[in-house]
């Protein structure tokens, strides 16, 4: 379940990144859709980091070393 939540957050983050790129190419600076999409991406990224930190603090997520 927790992996699905992380994967969903990453999917939304990548979608907003792609939307920002698309709006940047299409709008040519005429609207604020690029800024809005990239702002949402930052908010989702911070929320994901916060959820991971909270999960580690509560013991729901067990951190491990990569390659150890």
Per-residue pLDDT of the chain (68 residues; tens, 9 = 90+): 888 999 999 999 999 999 999 998 898 777 888 899 999 999 999 999 999 999 999 989 888 877 66
Output the pLDDT for position 68. 61
Q: Is residue 54 part of a domain?
A: yes
Output the pLDDT for position 61. 87
Residue 5: which residues within 8 A CB-CB, separation 6 or more?
A: 51
Q: Is residue 43 part of a domain?
A: yes
Q: Is residue 64 part of a domain?
A: no
Q: Is residue 46 part of a domain?
A: yes
Q: Is residue 65 part of a domain?
A: no
Q: Is residue 48 part of a domain?
A: yes
Domain that holds residue 10: 2-58
Q: Is residue 63 part of a domain?
A: no
How many Cβ atoms are within 10 Å of 41's Cβ, its own excluded?
Answer: 19
Output the pLDDT for position 54. 94
Three-state secondary structure call for residue 3:
helix
**Domain tally for the chain?**
1
Q: Is residue 68 part of a domain?
A: no
């Amino acid at each position: 379940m927790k992996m699905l939540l992380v994967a969903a957050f990453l999917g939304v983050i990548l979608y907003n990144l792609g939307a920002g790129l698309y709006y940047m190419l299409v709008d040519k600076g005429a609207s604020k859709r690029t800024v809005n999409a990239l702002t949402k991406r930052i908010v989702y990224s911070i929320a994901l980091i916060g959820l991971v930190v909270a999960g580690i603090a509560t013991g729901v997520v067990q951190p491990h070393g990569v390659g150890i």
